[in-house]
Structure formats: structure tokens, C-alpha cells
Amino acid sequence: MKSIFALVALTLIYPACAGTLPLSELEVGGIALGATEASVVGRMGEPLQRLDTGEGIELHYPGLVATVGWLEQQAPGRERRVAGIFGSGPQACTPRGLCPGMPVAAADRLYGTPEVAQREAGEFLEYYPEATGCWLQVAAAAGSIRSVAVACQP
């Protein structure tokens, strides 16, 4: 868990223009990687559910889940920050406007050619900023976007 949050901290100190995918694109549904838990609740309201996964707290909203936790250098009592975001609802869009339900061709048009990754949960289209352990992950089936997420390497 500490390594996830250390990677999130690293992404916050690199300039947004460091890679092929700007770090500003590591956002789903208006929730950015590294945002405080309070800012998520301020924007989205109280979550429908808070689930402790052992690696963080998932804040569940309709069509969106933000995972928050402690950054490595933080002590308890300080603000938890977003370390992962998963969106499956039509409003869970990236800053460039890629949303679940859109055709896969929209991902190509907005982000270019993806890396195709085989993961435990299936095949994903992935877009990476340079010098970070986090990326934009798009799940697609039958030519349609099923979900968009910001994932980080543990």
C-alpha cells in the first residue's frame, strides 16, 4: 500500500507535460489522482458506501469509485488522498471527454494508439504518462467503452 501512495506522490511532482499523456488526464468524473478525500466529498457529496479494502477506503458513487488512502509521508490524522479511480457510468469521463458507452474509436481519436494489456481482469487499452507508476486504463467490449480508470502500480 505504501508503494502505491509513494507512486501517487511522485506523479504529483512531475510536470504535466512530462510524457505522452499529460498527468492532468489521470482524472475520471472530475476526480483527479491525488485529490483529497474532502475535495471528493465536496464535489460528489457523501458516498453511497465507504468500503475498507485493507489497502484504502473506496468511496462508492453511482458509476464511480474513488479509492483514498494515506500517502507514505503522511501520519494518521492527515487527509487521505485519491490513489485510484474507476468509472463505469456515463458521467465518468476523462478530461478529454472519453466516457463509458462511447465507441472504442473515440479512445483512439482522443488518445492515439494504446498499449494493449492482458491483465487478471481481462484486456485493457492503456495510456501512460512518462515517469509515473499510474496510467489511464480503458476496458472495452464489443467495440464499446465499458469503463475508464486511473490505475497505479502497487
Query: Is pLDDT at 14 greater than 50 in this prediction?
Result: no
> What number is the average pLDDT over the span 125-144?
89
- In tens, the pLDDT along 119-133 reads 887 789 999 997 678
Mean pLDDT for 91-115 is 95
Q: How many CA atoms lie within 13 A of 117 on its CB side?
A: 16
Beta strand pairing call for 122-127 and 57-61: unpaired
Question: What is the predicted pLDDT for the residue at 87?
Answer: 98
Average pLDDT in the 79-86 region?
A: 93
Give 21-76 pLDDT, tens digit per residue: 898 899 999 999 999 999 999 999 999 999 999 888 999 999 999 999 876 555 55
Q: What residue segments make up the domains of the chain, in order of their start?
A: 2-152
CA–CA gap between residue 128 and residue 132 (Å, rounded): 8
Q: State the pTM of this model.
A: 0.81
Contact 28, 96 (CB under 8 A): no
Residues 82, 34 contacting (CB under 8 angstroms): yes
What 8-state DSSP symbol labels residue 18?
Answer: S
Q: What percent of the chain has pLDDT over 90?
A: 62
Provide the pLDDT confidence category of residue 77 given band limits of 50, 70 and 90. low
Phi, psi of 89 (to 5 degrees): -90, 165
Residue 90's CB: how many other CB atoms inside 10 A? 11
Identity of residue 38: A
Among the listed residues 14, 137, 23, 35, the one whose alpha carbon sits nearest the alpha carbon of residue 83:
35
Report the chain's mean pLDDT, rounded to a whole number: 84
